[in-house]
Every structure is written in structure tokens, then in C-alpha cells.
Structure 1
Amino acid sequence: MKRMSKLALALVLVLAMSAGFSACGGGGDFDASTMTIGSSTSVDTLNPLSSYEQQSFEIIALVYDPLVRYDKELNPSPALADDWKVSKDEKTWTFHLNKDAKWHDGQPVTSEDVKYTYELMLDTGLGYMYSSYLEGITDITCPDEQTVVMKTKLPKANMLMNTTPIMPKHVWEKVKKEELETWDNGEMIGSGPYKLVSNENGIVKVSKNEEYYRTKPAVENYVFVEYKNTDSLAQALKVGEIDAAVNLSATQYSQLEDEENVTVISGEVQGFMQVGINCSENPSSKGNPLLKDAEVRKAIEYATDKQNIIDMAYQGHGTEGTTMLNASDPYHYAPKGEELRSYNIKKAEKLLDDAGYKDSDGDGIREDADGNKLSFEFINIGDNSAEVKTGQLIASTCKEAGIEINQKTMDSGALQDAITAADYDMFMWGWGGDYDPTVMMGILTTAQIGSNNEPQWSNAKYDQLYEKQQTEMDKEKRIALVQEMEKIAYDEAPYIILLYDNNIQGYRSDRWTGIEQVPEKGTYYFNMTIENYINAAPVK
């Protein structure tokens, strides 16, 4: 799965009037048929084979149904599949499709569409946000138009966590293979509760599918609008130009929480913000080789005051991070006692002393036995004020331990290029998560070096456990395997997990009802479900 970005990118200013809704002071007349949602993140593409942005994921989920989707308790519930069963050896899955499901162009959804979608992603490697769900499927057959049978080499633990959008074979098979990744998917023919109406100038509009085969939503239209910054986004919500907002900043939370007509939350989301450290063994790597010493990486973590970062850079919105899965996740491994690397300059100093790093010339920067200094470049995304502030705070506290951090800023595109080329020492970025641990834990596998494995770290035991947990059908046993992986990664520290950040979202509660946090401490949107899109309704 590619990064579902939670970070501010270079965004385009969108004029609200061009969306076809009022942008007058005070918000104009309320249109109860249309709910407008603003975001400070962009839609990269509505092609499921190449999209990786959060906002795109949301819209794709409304237009394309998967076989099975999460309900508000995050349990698997029917979508295109009415029911399913697995064989006694847990290697054959049978799904029965809803006979009334139709594509938006009127053609019936059949088992051949499912087979086509899965095999297309498996054969091409496309479908960045979804293809990892399909690993392990070896054969797909269609006994009839409403039945799909999938065989796996080994049991597949995440089969019912699979949110892959099913795409119409009769549309996509006409696209040339070399154009699949870049095709604009302008008509976006799906089977979901909403149909695409338009996608222009950073504004996407979808309208209710009146032929939808399951519960029809109350809201006739959703309009998704991209805003240049969170200040203009919050102001639009406040005056009623939009009905809901996602990806607000901590500053906007305090501005909106006392607004009578707005309900705002700071909800937990799957994922984390991290310091990535170049661990590459490739001779072409341009990273500082001293960072290949895990003791140095651990010392940097000891010298990082995570709670102060949350308080100062994120205004308290988040919790201290440790391992790769969130603290509320049942798969989370929680380091305790001496294993836990909480902020402690003295422990950072002792770790470095014991590893032979001394400040022999008295300049405040430690060196190894050959005189190579613990001096590292730390890249932050320049237009993200929270990250820039975080970089400053880390540099300040690491200096106390004798580690020099030289902050450098660049845009997200340049940072991605630097990561791909292993031309960096340290960087800060974030990963959006998933309820299936395979997705997040797969990031640091050796197979992902050159792709999602940004630190280019490799551990054979970690890789073995990753393969094993995918086939463990007993949840408690699978949890134990995943937690062992988390412990290995924590012990070697290719990532320093700074925090599990929150997503700040709000909506006009004077206009809309039926919107709730999913799960209990989660968010309204970006929660892997479409529950609030289906259940929202205008206040009577």
C-alpha cells in the first residue's frame, strides 16, 4: 500500500463558488440535498489502480463497492457479497454476490468482474492502496455469475479485511495495458451508493445512486472541495460555506470548539508520524554510515522529547508513539520498563558512552574512534509548520546528548526523490494506517526496499514473521506474531515513532445529524468505513 498522506502537500486554492454552492458571508441558503466537505489534502486521481491519497480513497469507496466492507464496529459486513464461507482447510473461500447489484451504466455486476479486478492487480502490481490485500490468492474461478471461489496456497488471515474496490471488466478491459496506471477514469463507472458527477479544478461531486441494491443514503449529493490551507478551511466551516471539514490543524480545533453550530473532534486515526533513519547497506547510499549503528538510533530516540513535541508542535493532539501499530489497536506491542525508550538525556549519553562515542575535541559533538562526528542532516517538509517545529525541537534536545542535527527543508516531492535514492540521513513523514496489520507491518519488509521501506532496513526474522502472520487464522496467535515483529523493529529503531496523531474534523451540527465517531474514539471520515456518508441526514 502506498502512503495515504496525512501531510500538507502543495495545494491549489479552490474558489468555493466554482463548486456550485454558495460562498457568501454567512454561508447563504442551506441546501439540504447537498453536503459539502472541505479538506486540506488533494485528490491525486480517481483511478483505483494508481491513487494513494486519503481523499481519493474516500471517494473511491463511495463509488466502488468491495466484496466486504467494515461496519461501524469494524466487523466485516456484506457489500457486493451477501455471504461467504471458508473450507475446513482454510484455503478455499466462496463468496455469493448480491443478484441485484448493478454497475452505474446499468449492466449487472458478476463474478467475472471480481475475478478481473483481482487478477489485474495481482498480474500488474497496480492498485497501490489495495494490492497487499490480495497476496496469497493463487486461483479465482466463477462457477456462475453470482459465485466467486478463491483458492490460496496457505490460509489467508486478512481475506475479510479486504477493501479492494471491484471494477467493471467491460469498462477496464478496453484500456490498453500500458495506459492502465495513467488512465483518468473520467466516467468512474462503479456499483456503489454514489455516482461520479464531475471532477474539475479540485472539486469532486457525487450523486446518490437511485438503483443502489443496499440501504440508500439520505444525502443526495456530496461535494468534496480542496482548500489551500487550514485557516481558509476552518473559516469556510465557521461561516457555513461548507458543511464538514477534515484535516484541520490543532490551531483550528481551539477556534472551532466554542462555535455553537459546529461540532469538532480530535479523533484517533490509524497511522503514525515518524523519523525515518537511513539504514541502507547499499554502497550507493549517501546516508551517514554512523546511523547504521542501532545504538546511535536508540540514543536519538532517548534524546527526543515526544510529549513536548506533541504539546508544542501539535498543541496536545496526539499520543506518544512507540511501535508501528497504534496504542488502541489490539495488535499493538507496548514496550515497558527498561525496554521503553522514554525521553532521558542521561540514558542517551550512557548508550553513546558505552558504544565508544566521545566528544574528544570539546566542541559538543561526539565522534567515533576514527573522529567521525555524530552530525546528521534531518529533512522536514517546509510548508508543514508542525514538522518544521518538530525538527527544531529534536535538534535542540539531541544537542544536549552530543548529537548534532542539521535541519533541512524541502517539498514533499523532493523528499520522496531523496528517500528513493537513499540520499538522506534522517527525515520526518507519516503513514496513514489500516486495521489489517499486514499493511503497516509490510512497510519494513526486505521486499519493500526501493518502495515503501524508506529506511532500507532488513531483518530476516522480521520477514519470516511477516509471512507467517498472514496465514495464522487464530487471532490471538496472529497477535503474538505481529507483536514479535513490532518488538524487533522497535529494538533496531529504523523508525522512531514520534506520535500517533489525531485527525481534527468538524461538521455543521445545526444542519446535519446521524454523524458519529467510528470507532468510539475515532473520526467521522477517513476511518475505513462509509458509515457516516450513508447515515448522515439533514436536521429536520
Structure 2
Amino acid sequence: MTTAVLLLISLLVACGDSESSSGTEGEDVPKELTYASTSDAKGLSPIDTNDSVSSNVIVQVYETLFSLNPETMEPEPLLAESYETPDENTWVITLKEGISFHDGTPFNAEAVKYTFEQMKDPDRAAPRASLLEPIDTIEVEDEYTVVLTTKEPYGPMLAALSHSNASIVSPTADQEGDINREPVGTGPFVFENWEEGDQVVLTKNEDYWRDPAQLDKVTFKVVPEYSTAISMLETGDVQFLDAIPSDHISRVESLSNVEVDKQEGTRVSYLTFNVEKEPFNELEFRQAVAYAVDQESYVNQLNGLGSYNESIIGPKVFGYEEEATEYGYDYDPDKATEIIEANGYSDESITMLVANRDNYMKMAEIVQSQLSNVGLDVEIETMEWGAFLDTARAGDYEMTFLGWANSTADGSELLYPNLHSDNIGGSNYTRYNNDEFNQLVEESRITVDQNVRKEKLQEANILAIQDVPWVVMEHGVVTAAYDESVSGLSVDPTGQWSLYPVTRE
């Protein structure tokens, strides 16, 4: 090849590179973010779901009348403009005007009324119907004013209306389609598609009632193995993880391109029983298990991502009093063995149903070993997250592990949905029914006097600790790990996060 030909090729290549560069110069590169979850969403309707994986998507698409300030955890207006309480049983809520759902239909008082009536409809069987159970009537005063009346004063009302399950849905979309598969809200992101078992994709709502989000596209990617998700975070295929398992925190913190946030949270994780089955309905059996389980040794393995506390109501939740911790069952395997032998429990063959999530599997393996040490025959049965929720809610289990994020940060909205008999078959997976406990929890809800509420919650909390429907495994620490290109991301103590303020450099 001659020198002249080589020179000509060089000039052509240089020109090609120059044209390619100038073609992209000044163009806006779409800002995209991928979040990795070990499980797929159960559904995308706030009315029809009640799990954290689904909620992560829901809070980007839908909005609530109020939201919790992430620093103070106090409710503040969101879709609501303001509210007043002319008496203890009446809440007059004025809505923001000029807001539309993603399908173009108007957000107004009729939409609020429709959503809340669907939540309360027993035929729909909303898993978090308990949030709105105290509301007696929902009336439209005018296009942008809705009036809620309660049978009794309802102290946690604003906290309940801040919960993601109280998000307002498009009545038209719900009546004409399936919002559990194709959600329609007012939020900063619009649903694009859901490839079940693989990913959910959202795009920026260009017509959002506030300034549009800075991210153009968000992908919720299902990555069943957390170690794989971390590798994807390291390579840049994923930019955001949360709920980091304790076994992986040191690896995540070692990544040079990753920021890690940790803070004390409202979540409680626990071992529970189906108390409608024998011998789990017997206090002596539950006490034996409580004595046999060494929660402190479990927490010590969490690398700082959990705290040991016997109280069901945790330190970051309204209603917590440190005195409650004195009423738990300290680790005493000898006492556990004594109870088991005296009651013949060693003859029982027990199955622990466990969702295939890292934290629950870790709990199950440790507890199985500890229970075996005191003479109980325990096997572990694992199940995929969605199937697990259906099975546990139906009561088709003996013992299991669950968690509650406490998205309202209110003790009444922890004890009522999880342990009050009203919610057996719904959010009360334990199927616990104690009249004295029920009464105390109800009293904590039917007053707006916050000091009285604290007193009633303390009494109810102590009673439940002693009755052992749950063995508290840990109170959680919320975590987030994100690529250094991500800014504006924060996780509040409830573990929730919004991608609305997030951008990428």
C-alpha cells in the first residue's frame, strides 16, 4: 500500500470521527436509572397489594393526600392543599386543583371518594383496608373538597393517609382496566411495561403537576441473587440497591464507585406462629420458643444492620417506651427445654415456611438450629415471595418469618393491622385474637390526645410481648447503595424512597 493511499485513509477516518462527534455534541443524553430487587412485584395497585417490593414501584406512580416528612416523620400535605377538623370525628380535606391522572382524567374529590370506598369494600378485600377502617362516611362537598367522618376520633388519620396503600387511583383506569397490572396515578413517573419475573419500566411524567422528574426512565430489575446485583452495581449495569443483607454489606462498602447510606429505621422483623393451630395456640409453646431463640446472637451477625430489642414497637415508632423491653423472654435454653419436655412438644414435627429472601432465610437457618438444640423437630420449606404472601395470608403455615416496615411510623398502625382480630385473613398473618389487646389498640386509635395514645400503646405492647404472638428478631437499619453518578437519593426511616428528586451526573 502506497504512502498516498495510507494518507487518504487516515484523512477519511479523521473526518468520520469528527462528524460522529459533532453529531452528538450538545444532545441531551437520557438520564436512566436501574434499581435491582431480589423479588418481583406482587402487583402494582395500592388497593390490592401490601408488600414492600410492590410499594417501591407504587410510590413512584401514585401519590397520597399527605406524605411523611423524611426528617421529622410528621405528615404534610401532598395532593391535599390543607385540612381542618371542625370536630374530633370530622376531617375536611381541601385538594390541590389542576392535577390529572396519567390517563388524562381529573384528580378530584370524586377520585378520592372512589379510591377510599374501594379500599373499604369487603368484596375487594384490600389487604390494608385497616388503614381506613375508622372512616364511617366519605362525602364530596365540592369538586376539590372531601369530608371524612369517623365513628370515633381517629388519632393516626394523617399518618394513615400518608401510607402508600392510601394512594389515589384513577377511577376510570380501575373500572375499565386492571391497575394491578397497568397502574395509573398522578405521580412523577408513568407506567410503561412489566415483564413479569424480569422488570418493570417507568418513564418520566412530562405533564406532572410539579416540575417533571429529572430521570427520564427507571427500570426495576429482578435480580434473584443479591451477590449478582452487587456485581451489576460495581459494573454500572445497576445504579441503586437497598435493603442490603448483612452478609453483603462489607463488600458493598468496599466498592470505590458506590455511596452507602445507613440509618436506624422503623422496620421490625419477627418469627411468628399460626395461633389457630396446635400447639402454636398454647402460650407455653410460644414461651418455649421465645426462650430458645437467641435474638442477640442473630443481631450480632448483622454487621450493624439491626438492633436487639424485645419490644414489638421499635424505638423509631410512635408509642415506644424503653420500659417495654423488660417484659420480653431472655434467652434461656434450659427453661425452653424444661417447658418442651413438660408438655411433650418434642413429639411435634414443625415446618417453618420461609420466603426466598436472604434475610428470612438467614433467620430461619439460625432459629432452626436453636430450636433443634432444645428438642424441637423443625424443617424449613421455602417459597417464592408472591406465593408465600398468598399462602401465609390464608393461614396455610405453622411458623414463619415476616417484617413490617411501619410506613406510618405509628404504633397503632403497627399493632392494629398485624395483631388485631379485625384483620385475620388480611394483614394479621398470625391470626392473633386477644380481647384485652384488641380493646387497648382500639383505645389508642380513638383519641387525638397523643399522651393517652402513648399510654394505651404501651399497655398493648407489653401485653403482646408477654403473650408472644411474635418473637421479635430485630429492629432494622435502612440502607441504600448507589452509584456515584446518582444524586438526590435518600431513604427515610420507614425504608421508603422517591426517585422524583433523583438525577444522574
CA distance in 2, matches of 1:379, 1:41: 20
Give the aligned partner of residue 172 of structure 1.
174
For residue 508 of structure 1, report the CA deviation from its aligned partner: 0.6
1:65-464 pair list within 5 angstroms: 65-73=63-71, 74-87=73-86, 89-124=87-122, 126=124, 128=126, 130-161=128-159, 162=161, 163=163, 164-174=166-176, 183=178, 185=180, 187-201=182-196, 202-280=198-276, 285=277, 287-288=278-279, 291-312=280-301, 314-335=302-323, 339-346=327-334, 348=336, 352=338, 357=339, 366-368=341-343, 373=346, 375=348, 377-381=350-354, 383-384=356-357, 386-398=359-371, 402-412=374-384, 419=392, 425-434=398-407, 435-442=409-416, 443-464=418-439
Letter in 1 for 2:488: G
Contact kept, 8 Å, 2:193 with 2:201, in 1: the verdict is: yes
For residue 503 of structure 1, report the CA deviation from its aligned partner: 4.4
Q: Show structure 1 runs of 5+ residues with no match.
A: 1-29, 176-182, 358-364
Contact kept, 8 Å, 2:62 with 2:187, in 1: the verdict is: yes
For residue 81 of structure 1, report the CA deviation from its aligned partner: 1.0
Contact kept, 8 Å, 2:328 with 2:465, in 1: the verdict is: no
1:35 corresponds, among 33, 36, 40, to 33
CA distance in 2, matches of 1:187, 1:424: 31
For residue 336 of structure 1, report the CA deviation from its aligned partner: 5.9
1:495-539 CA distances to partner (integer Å, 9 max, x unpaired)?
A: 111112344421012x122223424xx6xxx42x53xx2222223
2:61 corresponds, among 39, 60, 63, to 63
Contact kept, 8 Å, 2:327 with 2:465, in 1: the verdict is: no
Give the aligned partner of residue 10 of structure 1.
none
Contact kept, 8 Å, 1:367 with 1:373, in 2: the verdict is: no
Is the alpha carbon distance of 1:133 and 1:238 closer, same or farther for their aligned partners in structure 2, counting shifts above 3 Å? same
Contact kept, 8 Å, 1:379 with 1:415, in 2: the verdict is: no
TM-score (norm 1): 0.79
Contact kept, 8 Å, 1:366 with 1:374, in 2: the verdict is: no
Is the alpha carbon distance of 1:491 and 1:333 closer, same or farther for their aligned partners in structure 2, counting shifts above 3 Å? farther
Contact kept, 8 Å, 2:109 with 2:140, in 1: the verdict is: yes
SS, match of residue 257 in structure 1 = helix
Is the alpha carbon distance of 1:335 and 1:419 closer, same or farther for their aligned partners in structure 2, counting shifts above 3 Å? farther
Is the alpha carbon distance of 1:117 and 1:339 closer, same or farther for their aligned partners in structure 2, counting shifts above 3 Å? closer
CA distance in 2, matches of 1:273, 1:396: 18
CA distance in 1, matches of 2:448, 2:325: 31
1:365-409 CA distances to partner (integer Å, 9 max, x unpaired)?
A: 7133xx664645141427456545544433444455x44242332
2:490 pairs with 1:513: no
Is the alpha carbon distance of 1:421 and 1:214 closer, same or farther for their aligned partners in structure 2, counting shifts above 3 Å? closer
Letter in 2 for 1:495: W
Is the alpha carbon distance of 1:119 and 1:336 closer, same or farther for their aligned partners in structure 2, counting shifts above 3 Å? closer
Instruction: Give the fraction of aligned pairs with identical amino acids, expressed as a percent.
Output: 24
Contact kept, 8 Å, 1:125 with 1:131, in 2: the verdict is: no
1:203-235 CA distances to partner (integer Å, 9 max, x unpaired)?
A: 222222222223443222222111121011111
SS, match of residue 342 in structure 2 = coil
Q: Show structure 2 runs of 5+ residues with no match.
A: 1-27
SS, match of residue 133 in structure 1 = helix
SS, match of residue 430 in structure 1 = strand
Range moving further from structure 2, 496-505 or 76-85: 496-505
1:225-254 CA distances to partner (integer Å, 9 max, x unpaired)?
A: 111210111111111011111233223211
Give the aligned partner of residue 12 of structure 2.
none
For residue 153 of structure 1, report the CA deviation from its aligned partner: 1.6
CA distance in 2, matches of 1:384, 1:114: 35
CA distance in 1, matches of 2:88, 2:124: 27
Letter in 1 for 2:316: S
For residue 65 of structure 1, report the CA deviation from its aligned partner: 1.8
Give the aligned partner of residue 18 of structure 2.
none
Is the alpha carbon distance of 1:505 and 1:127 closer, same or farther for their aligned partners in structure 2, counting shifts above 3 Å? farther
Q: Looking at secondary structure, tell me which structure has more helix per residue.
A: 2
Is the alpha carbon distance of 1:498 and 1:335 closer, same or farther for their aligned partners in structure 2, counting shifts above 3 Å? farther
Letter in 2 for 1:270: T
CA distance in 2, matches of 1:423, 1:187: 30
For residue 266 of structure 1, report the CA deviation from its aligned partner: 4.1
CA distance in 2, matches of 1:92, 1:136: 11
1:262-317 CA distances to partner (integer Å, 9 max, x unpaired)?
A: 0123444433222213432xxxx4x33xx4442342232222211212234x4442
Contact kept, 8 Å, 1:375 with 1:403, in 2: the verdict is: no
Contact kept, 8 Å, 1:367 with 1:374, in 2: the verdict is: no
CA distance in 2, matches of 1:214, 1:423: 45
Q: Cα RMSD over matched residues? A: 2.9
